[in-house]
Amino acid sequence: MKLNKMITSTSATSANDGEKFFDIFNILVGKEIDEDYKKKPVIIQGITGSYGSTHTRLMKAYGTNIVGGVTPGKGGQNFEGIPIYNSVSEAVKVSGAKISGIFVPAQFFLDAAKDALNNGIKLLIAIPEHVPIKDSIEILEHAQLLGAKIIGPNTPGVIVPEIMKVGIMPAQPFKAGNAAVFSRSGTLMYEVSYNLTRAGYGQKLCLGIGGDPINGTNLIEAFNMIKDSQDIESIVIVGEIGGDSEEQLANYLIETKFSKPVVAYIAGRSAPKEKRMGHAGAIIYGNYGSAESKVANFAKADVPVAKSPPEIPKLLAKKLRR
């Protein structure tokens, strides 16, 4: 599939796509199982690596129901009581997991992701950065064919505060509530959530879009995932320079006449043009992808844009009062 076709297909989202995303949100929080929010089972690919093992400990301590790990050649062993399998096929057969967190190095990502998707994983949290664009395109096309969804690559992950997390985010900034936070930046997702928490605005869901040019879940798709949820009272968008995902979301908010409060923050306002700053997508050519372009489009959608993370709760308070 050609790059421009893939970008178009991941940007255009139908109502049915939104319903599918909401189903996957339910898979993550386990709402459809029982009243006490029993956690859905999660497997971790790359569990024995230094990165995977460190964050597996933290995810497990947070309450995530990690039922298995996958490291080829280490099947039959265990990691702190978590059984290790040689393949996703074995892990899924035993556990019935539909969610996987991938912590393998970028060069092994494509094979690991295919192993997951081909064996029934429906929600794939792709942590690795520096995944080749051609590999991202290939795996997104594969996921679409199999009816699965990918968060990332180069994502900090997904957290449902005080219930579970799959990713590398610290636990401290997040508190349960009714706001949804979607961020292109990992560290800014933590900082923004911390400021929301301090101001008394807890979060229902925080999702890292990922900093790569190709995202398994873009801002519009993330928005559609929760837009009809009665549990979500407001949405916070943490964007950055580069690309046009924020502009597309702003236009989509206008088209859908979305009425719940939405506020935003754009990182990189002072970055020099035509120089990449941090993420692979954070580059500006002319006016394309500039902070000015994003702020202007959000203004058309009645979405105020904070100049700093501490200003976000103040803007949200004004929107909620309205």
- Catalytic annotation, residues: 279
Nearest Cα neighbor of 126 from 106, 142, 146 is 106
- Rounded to an integer, what distance in angstroms lies between the CA atom of residue 59 and that of residue 61? 5
CA distances from 156 to 20, 303, 307 (A): 22, 25, 23
Omega within 30 of 0 (cis) for the link into 272: no
CA distances from 276 to 31, 150, 244, 246, 311 (A): 41, 25, 15, 18, 26
Alpha helices by DSSP H, the chain: 3-11, 15-29, 50-62, 88-95, 109-118, 133-146, 186-198, 219-226, 245-256, 291-300, 312-321
Burial 281-318 (b: 16+ CB within 10 A, else e): bbbbeeeebbbebbbebbeebebbbbeebeebbebbbe
